[in-house]
Copies of this chain bind each other. A is one copy, B any other.
């Protein structure tokens, strides 16, 4: 979604830049999810919201913004618009498999603020395994043996889909 106008004979991108062209997974995720209310809408879908009015009530979001966000998420395949016309409702917004795959993203965000914003013992919500009733462990970045890793333990290298730009940027630096 790049907004462009012709200006003095050259193509000029005006207004808000989008991340569409960036050769980076985080930027691409933000292209789909980075807008204002988007992740909260997805969160509510995980909690069971499906209809326009579910999201509206729960979030207190303006209708036009909600409409645009839902459309954006449908366009990006996070939601599927499901026709449930029989009982009077026309459509519901259901999480797709792509949308359900966002569970680790939401969990990581909640883990982070549980620890660093609210602090242990002040969590507003707790997520449990329905089967055992026990709290799920926080997400951990680990090596293949399951040892937790931190930033210093990692090395980022170009992958098969790397652009020349990305390869250049990932050259080892002096620092």
Where the two chains meet, the residues of A that have a C-beta atom closer than 8 Å to any C-beta of B are: 16-17, 19, 23-30, 32-34, 36, 39-40, 43, 46-48, 50, 58, 60, 77, 95, 98, 100-118, 121-134, 136-144, 149-163, 166, 169-170, 173, 175
Given known contacts A104-B108, A124-B158, what 5 new A-B pairs fall within 8 Å (CB)? A26-B106, A95-B151, A100-B151, A125-B156, A129-B149
Task: Assess the B125–A101 pair: CB atoms within 8 A.
Answer: no
User: What residues of chain B lie closer than 8 Å to A159, measured between beta carbons?
Assistant: 122-126
Task: Assess the B127–A154 pair: CB atoms within 8 A.
Answer: yes
Task: Assess the B128–A137 pair: CB atoms within 8 A.
Answer: no
User: What residues of chain B lie closer than 8 Å to A98, measured between beta carbons?
Assistant: 116
Most buried by B among A26, A153, A175: A26
User: What residues of chain B lie closer than 8 Å to A134, measured between beta carbons?
Assistant: 143-144
